[in-house]
Amino acid sequence: MTIPKIAVGDTLSLKKKHPCGSSDFEVLRVGSDIRIVCRGCGRDLTLPREKLEKAIRRIHHPEDAKENGGQTP
Ligand SMILES: [Zn+2]
């Protein structure tokens, strides 16, 4: 079992869609609870990390998108 790594600024595609129809959420804050904002309607919600991890279908890291000039820490 792999534990997804969630960071602020990531976009999460969840298995469950928001009532507005969007399934993409941006991460605002990470802790024991994770705060995300819906890309579709802009509503933010806070979920326990454990619950959110189970609902993730895919994580988009902003760094992965830009392939030119990327810095590796
Ligand atoms: Zn929404």
Cα 33 to ligand 1 centroid, rounded to whole Å:
19
Q: How far is CA 53 from the centre of its chain?
A: 9
73 within domain boundaries = no
Using left for φ > 0, alpha for ψ between -120 and 50, and beta otherwise, residue 49 falls in alpha
72 within domain boundaries = no
Question: What pLDDT, in 10s, does the model give residues 9-55?
Answer: 999 999 999 999 999 999 999 999 999 999 999 999 999 999 999 99
What does the pLDDT read at residue 3?
Answer: 67
> What domain range is 53 assigned to?
11-61
25 within domain boundaries = yes
6 within domain boundaries = no
Question: Is residue 63 predicted with pLDDT exceeding 90?
Answer: no
Query: Could you give the number of structural domains in the chain?
Result: 1
Cα 24 to ligand 1 centroid, rounded to whole Å:
8
Residue 24 neighbours by CB under 8 Å, 6+ apart: 11, 12, 13, 38, 39, 40
Cα 44 to ligand 1 centroid, rounded to whole Å:
8
16 within domain boundaries = yes
Cα 25 to ligand 1 centroid, rounded to whole Å:
8
- Over residues 46-68, mean pLDDT: 86
What is the model's pTM?
A: 0.81
Question: Is residue 72 predicted with pLDDT exceeding 90?
Answer: no
